[in-house]
Structure 1
């Protein structure tokens, strides 16, 4: 069974990059070498802040799209607690 990952990297400038892959380690190496996404070029080194595994590519890509639309505060809460404001509507 194939594995599909959604991940969040923190770039050296403090910004977050969210992506999808079926090989997380290889994808991070591509980002580090400058061959990854255009957004991450020149923003290394990276810290893997969050990853989640899915059984299907479709489910992973839907989650990637959802995460990309979250506010920074919600992404930080997702990283910290596995929860985001837009989903839970719980504000602390």
Structure 2
């Protein structure tokens, strides 16, 4: 029997093919989640179906899934690839946004 470590986090993927970011939240294995995005596992009009080259750009661990969802929504609300790039470039921004979305 295989056991996979679960990740509770907000994650940001990047596709060079479409030059776009994808922001999500998970409470399952992130590596499997990325493979699922790349294989179009998520049906329907799912945005991640537009590419097969998603790579992890940034992972922001959280204590619980509800916090990961709030964080995901906050980052999406910024509607800015520059902001996403700055999250990776300036770790203090991550600390700030984690505090803002704590409750």
TM over 0.5: yes
TM-score by length of 1: 0.79
In 1: Cα distance, 2:42 partner to 2:87 partner: 23
More moved, 25-34 vs 2-11: 2-11
Cα distance change of structure 1 residues 77 and 28 upon mapping to structure 2, 3 Å threshold: same
Equivalent in 85, 89, 92 of residue 76 of structure 1:
85
In 1: Cα distance, 2:26 partner to 2:12 partner: 11
- 8 Å contact 1:10–1:16 — kept in the other structure? yes
What residue ranges of structure 2 are gaps of 5+ in the alignment?
A: 1-5, 98-103
Q: What's the secondary structure of 2:60's corresponding residue?
A: strand
Partner of 1:90: none
What residue ranges of structure 1 are gaps of 5+ in the alignment?
A: 88-92
- 8 Å contact 2:7–2:30 — kept in the other structure? no
Superposition pairs of residues 1-92 of structure 1, within 5 angstroms: 3-11=7-15, 12-22=17-27, 23-36=29-42, 38-70=46-78, 71-82=80-91, 83=93
Deviation at 1:3, TM superposition (A): 4.2
Over the aligned positions, Cα root-mean-square deviation in angstroms equals 1.9
TM-score by length of 2: 0.72
- 8 Å contact 1:3–1:55 — kept in the other structure? no
